Amino acid sequence: MVFKFGLPLAVLLASAAPALAAPAASSGVSPAVKVLHENLIVLDTHFDTPANAAVPGFDIRARHEVSDGSQVDYPRMVEGGVDGGFFVIFTPQGARGPAANAANRDLALQRALVIHKLVARNSDLFALATKAEDAETISKAGKRFAYISIENSAPLAGDLTLMKTFYDMGVRMMGPIHFANNDLGDSATDPKGPEFGGLSPLGKSFVAEANRLGVLLDASHSSDLVLDQMLALSKAPIILSHTGAKAIYNHPRNIDDDRLRALAAKGGVIQINAFTGYMMDVPKIPERDAALLELTKAYGSPRDVPADRREAYKAARAAIDAKYPLPRATLNDLMKHILHAAKVAGKDHIGISGDFDGGGGIEGFDDVSDFPALTERLVKAGFTKEDLAKFWGGNALRVLQEADRLKGS
């Protein structure tokens, strides 16, 4: 079991060493739980932070605010006892065909470069991780680790040999599909419905090549039939990097109990997603949508608002939120998904992703500084230190290690 310091909780609490002293409790987190949390290897499997890092002027060393469109930065990682995670190369699903494949490839390569620059320019704080054991090594060295993943593998659809190119750039997790069907297979949420009845022939080759390279396969956003086929075809366990339990909220992006059991039987892991739209009904408010559209016309994309207009933008956005409020999921909702998945799949097969900087975040779990609050809830629910070590990183790192161990087989 991976612990940051490898010491029993009683020893940690009794220790007076400054390095192990817990920061002041916040948000109702007890000092004992804060110390316990700090002693774990804590990771999130889906940070969309590279989208922020690609914006000129973004500084991951500075503390930002959720209202700035940012949920992950170094100060808040320290505050939340977060040791690292998977930083995502995301490509929106658009047109398909040779020209689109080339454009998607180039965009993904540029985003990979953004991640490498982020790590290189902040090498005193971050280090690139490519193997499961790197998480502990980097954490013990006092830095945050950055794994790289791909969400939506449309950039690879024109030439699967690009999978090796991205592997050589450090990518260790790949999800084939996003909101819409692509050349690899069917999405869980394409309004047109299924196109291939699961994976396409190219998608099946994608699974085989991921196994050959030792890349961890991610079935989040994939249709149920794609998940079934990935489980059947893959020689290694797979992961759902940010997905919920369908029994708690019936959404196509979530997974039903039979598939949860099949995922666990394969040795895989579900990382429960903290995304309101996949946890509860969210009403459609046309007036709100129209107001947000006008806001974008006036200020541009939230990530691109210049510094001298940011306060005005935040005030205008706050006014829209106040006039047309939307309900938000809470930590109570998140706990329902976690506890259900733990019951059905087992505690060896669960973890967490806030889907931060990609639309995630709920009441009480808004950015990475809130991670200890979830540990507090899990402790109250009966999770032991060993359970928490698995939940906060051990399970995800195990399947990453298995994908590497079984590569080429």
The count of other CB atoms within 10 Å of the CB of residue 24 is 8
Q: Report percent pLDDT > 70 for the chain.
A: 93
Residue 264 within a domain: yes
- For position 302, what pLDDT does the model report? 81
Q: What average pLDDT score do residues 115-137 get?
A: 98
Residues 322 and 190 occupy one common structural domain: no
Q: What average pLDDT score do residues 116-123 get?
A: 98
Residue 12 has pLDDT above 90, yes or no: no
Residue 251 within a domain: yes
The count of other CB atoms within 10 Å of the CB of residue 192 is 9
- Rounded CA gap, 1 and 385, in Å? 10
Domain range for 314: 283-326
> If pLDDT is split at 50, 70 and 90, which confidence band does 262 have?
very high
The residue with tokens 């009403």 is 283
Residues 249 and 314 occupy one common structural domain: no
- For position 24, what pLDDT does the model report? 39
Least confident of 32-46, 55-69, 227-241: 55-69
Residues 97 and 207 occupy one common structural domain: yes
Least confident of 4-13, 150-159, 390-399: 4-13
The residue out of 291, 326, 361 marking a domain boundary is 326
Residues 165 and 244 occupy one common structural domain: yes
Residue 44 has pLDDT above 90, yes or no: yes
Closest CA to 138 of 155, 117, 123: 123
Residues 230 and 109 occupy one common structural domain: yes
Residues 294 and 252 occupy one common structural domain: no
Q: What is the pLDDT of residues 336-346, one digit of tens each?
A: 999 999 999 99
The count of other CB atoms within 10 Å of the CB of residue 134 is 19
Domain count, the chain: 2
DSSP 215: P
Residues 316 and 341 occupy one common structural domain: no
Residue 4 within a domain: no
Residue 92 within a domain: yes
Least confident of 19-23, 342-346, 356-360: 19-23
Per DSSP, helices labelled H in 58-191 are: 74-79, 98-121, 134-140, 162-168
> If pLDDT is split at 50, 70 and 90, which confidence band does 1 have?
low
Q: At residue 160, what is the residue type?
A: L
- Rounded CA gap, 306 and 196, in Å? 43
The count of other CB atoms within 10 Å of the CB of residue 292 is 17
Q: At residue 269, what is the residue type?
A: V
Q: What is the pLDDT of residues 55-106, one digit of tens each?
A: 988 999 999 999 888 999 999 999 999 999 999 999 999 999 999 999 999 9
Q: Which residue has the higher pLDDT, 194 or 25?
A: 194
> If pLDDT is split at 50, 70 and 90, which confidence band does 17 have?
very low
- For position 3, what pLDDT does the model report? 61
- Rounded CA gap, 145 and 122, in Å? 11
DSSP for 35-77 reads HHHHTB--EEEEE-THHHHTSTT--TTS---GGGT----HHHH
Residues 88 and 33 occupy one common structural domain: yes
Residues 213 and 313 occupy one common structural domain: no
Closest CA to 58 of 125, 110, 122, 150: 122
Q: What average pLDDT score do residues 362-371 get?
A: 97
Residue 172 CA from chain centroid, whole number: 14
List b or e across 341-361, with b for residues whose CB sees 16 or more CB atoms inside 10 angstroms: bbebbebebbbbbbbbbbebb
Residues 233 and 298 occupy one common structural domain: no
Residue 399 CA from chain centroid, whole number: 15
The residue with tokens 């997974």 is 255
The residue out of 326, 341, 359 marking a domain boundary is 326
Closest CA to 244 of 383, 176, 341: 341
DSSP 190: -
Q: What average pLDDT score do residues 367-389 get?
A: 98
Residue 2 within a domain: no
Q: What average pLDDT score do residues 383-389 get?
A: 98
Q: What average pLDDT score do residues 216-230 get?
A: 98
Residues 213 and 322 occupy one common structural domain: no
CA distances from 234 to 200, 217, 318, 366, 367 (A): 15, 8, 46, 34, 33
Q: Which residue has the higher pLDDT, 310 or 190?
A: 190
- For position 36, what pLDDT does the model report? 97
Q: Which residue has the higher pLDDT, 23 or 43?
A: 43
The residue out of 293, 310, 326 marking a domain boundary is 326
- Rounded CA gap, 5 and 345, in Å? 28
Task: Report yes or no: 148 and 86 within 8 Å, Cβ to Cβ.
Answer: yes
- For position 27, what pLDDT does the model report? 60
- The three-state DSSP-derived secondary structure of 12-26 is HHHCCCHHHCCCCCC
- For position 2, what pLDDT does the model report? 60
DSSP for 346-363 reads -GGGEEEE--TTTT--BB
Least confident of 21-30, 110-119, 301-310, 314-323: 21-30
Residue 118 has pLDDT above 60, yes or no: yes
Dihedral-angle region of residue 267 (phi above 0 means left; psi in -120 to 50 means alpha; beta otherwise): left
- For position 333, what pLDDT does the model report? 98
Residue 256 within a domain: yes
Element holding 259 (H helix, E strand):
helix 257-265
Is the entire prediction scored with pTM above 0.75?
yes
* CATH code of 189's domain: 3.20.20.140
Residues 278 and 322 occupy one common structural domain: no
Residue 233 within a domain: yes
- For position 73, what pLDDT does the model report? 98
Mean pLDDT of the chain: 93
Residue 1 within a domain: no
Q: What's the residue count for the chain? A: 409
Closest CA to 399 of 47, 131, 128, 37: 131
The residue with tokens 């889907």 is 355
